[in-house]
Amino acid sequence: MSGIAENLGIIRRRIDEAARRAGRDPAGIRLIAVSKTHSAEQVREAIAAGQCVFGENRVQEAGAKFADLRAEYPALELHLIGSLQTNKAEDAVRHFDVIQTLDRKSLADALSKAIRKTGRTPRLYIEINIGEEPQKAGLTPADLPSFLDYCRERGLKAEGLMCIPPLGQNPEGFFRHMKEMADRFGLTHLSMGMSGDFETAIVCDATEIRVGTAIFGERVK
Ligand SMILES: *Cc1c(COP(=O)(O)O)cnc(C)c1O
């Protein structure tokens, strides 16, 4: 058994256990395998172990890595989880099924244009800077209501929220705040929790967790 298959088995068991502890159905939690910096061969190992949802943070890297894989495995689902430049919006719309990092008006404009041009309609989530950290991407919670209006006026339907809580702090309060916002605005997808904190995210009602290191090992810079 390869390390990746083994790691996936361990993560799936931990998801089941966390769900059970939280009184949730594990089927309501999707595991996104974050394959950024890892090779197409490693992605293949994960696919062989039954994984079909992947996350990447760069449009170009994902396009190159997944072109053949997508043709071979039409059921693959690819999520963009890294920040997106407006000039790459069209490529992102072509390559990804879900874009989790919608966080500003200029990007909403660019995505709206790209969607009309390509006829592709990836699912869109809004990234929230839940710790309101100056160096981080994402909308502040206070800006969410007016941003949702802005998107709606441009024909964009946001269906979820995503966040990366501040490093080195207990994430639970941030995750709970995310859940409240998702409920308040009727956003059904809640993407939160990574290798170090996905069990806490599950307790706080995450519907998608994004796990890289615990599946593929440390990333080489
Ligand atoms: C890299 C990354 C992850 C995965 O992080 P790990 O700690 O390796 O599990 C999750 N979400 C985002 C947005 C990332 O950039």
Question: What average pLDDT does the segment 33-57 reach?
Answer: 98
C-alpha dist (Å) from residue 169 to 3, 164, 166: 30, 11, 6
Residue 211 CB less than 6 A away from ligand 1: yes
pLDDT for the residue 2 = 61
Q: Closest Cα partner for 61 from 21, 34, 87?
A: 34
Q: Find the 150 Cα to ligand 1 centroid distance in Å.
A: 28
Q: Find the 117 Cα to ligand 1 centroid distance in Å.
A: 31
Element housing 100 (H / E):
strand 98-102
Whether 89 shows a pLDDT value over 70: the answer reads yes
The atom number, within ligand 1, closest to the CA of 164 reads 13
d(CA 159, CA 195): 24
Which is it for strands 53-56 and 30-34: parallel, antiparallel or unpaired?
parallel
d(CA 55, CA 31): 10
pLDDT for the residue 158 = 98
pLDDT for the residue 220 = 81
d(CA 131, CA 123): 24
pLDDT for the residue 216 = 98
Q: What is the pLDDT of residues 101-121, one digit of tens each?
A: 999 999 999 999 999 999 999
d(CA 157, CA 39): 33
pLDDT for the residue 209 = 98
d(CA 115, CA 137): 23
Question: What average pLDDT does the segment 30-57 reach?
Answer: 98
- Smallest CA separation from ligand 1 atom 7, residue: 195
Residue 1: which pLDDT band, with cuts at 50, 70 and 90?
A: very low
Q: Find the 168 Cα to ligand 1 centroid distance in Å.
A: 15
Q: Closest Cα partner for 57 from 34, 41, 32, 90?
A: 34
